[in-house]
Each structure stands twice: as C-alpha cells, then as structure tokens.
C-alpha cells in the first residue's frame, strides 16, 4: 500500500526513527501529523504537509483530544506510527518488584 493521499499520525516524530518515518512518509506523498510533548523545531516544522500537535501521551484525555484535533484538521487518519517512547530516569533495580 502506498501512502499517497493518506494522512499519517506519527508520535515522537521529531528525531531519530520517528523523524525518519516522517521524512519517508512525506517522500511518499502523505500528509503527516507529528504528535509529541515538545515543539517541532526541525525541518519538517516548515513543510506544508506537516501538522504539529503537542500532547502528553501519558494522559489518555490528551491522547483522545489530539486524535480528534488531527481528524478535524486533516480529515482523518489513514496511518498510525506509534513511535513515542518512555524514558525511565531510575535504576533498573528500582523498577523491579
């Protein structure tokens, strides 16, 4: 399936793997909604087919809200790339029961 005329929602699309997904989606002709906590200060921020939506995906109401905003703004979502990661700032022993 080619994502031409598709709308992709990419979480964590600001850098590294997520940024690669955004770039490739744009190369394939998709419109891309990048969802993350921080502002989008990279090259895709000025691309006409990129929409940025700030959201904390740890909060379920924020997640629902951002999906609704993307659907309203772009007309739907055809592709979902859930790339956002979780960072634990604790030692492994603190995470074990």
Q: What is the pLDDT of residue 23?
A: 93
10-60 tens-digit pLDDT: 998 888 898 999 999 999 999 999 998 887 777 778 888 998 888 888 888
Query: Are 55 and 65 contacting, i.e. CB atoms less than 8 angstroms apart?
Result: yes
Q: State whether residue 53 is helix, strand or coil.
A: strand
Helix runs in 12-81, H state only: 16-27, 60-74
Query: Are 70 and 47 contacting, i.e. CB atoms less than 8 angstroms apart?
Result: no
**Entry pTM:** 0.78
May I ask the CATH architecture of the domain 7-84? 3-Layer(aba) Sandwich (3.40)
Helix runs in the chain, H state only: 16-27, 60-74, 92-95
């Amino acid at each position: 399936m080619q994502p031409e005329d598709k709308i992709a929602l990419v979480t964590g699309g600001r850098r590294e793997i997520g940024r690669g997904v955004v770039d490739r989606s744009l190369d394939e002709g998709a419109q891309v909604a990048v969802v993350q906590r921080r502002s989008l200060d990279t090259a895709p921020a000025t691309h006409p087919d990129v929409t940025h939506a700030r959201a904390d995906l740890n909060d379920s109401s924020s997640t629902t809200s951002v999906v609704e905003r993307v659907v309203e703004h772009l007309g739907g979502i055809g592709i979902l790339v859930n790339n956002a990661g979780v960072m634990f700032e604790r030692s492994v022993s603190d995470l074990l029961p």
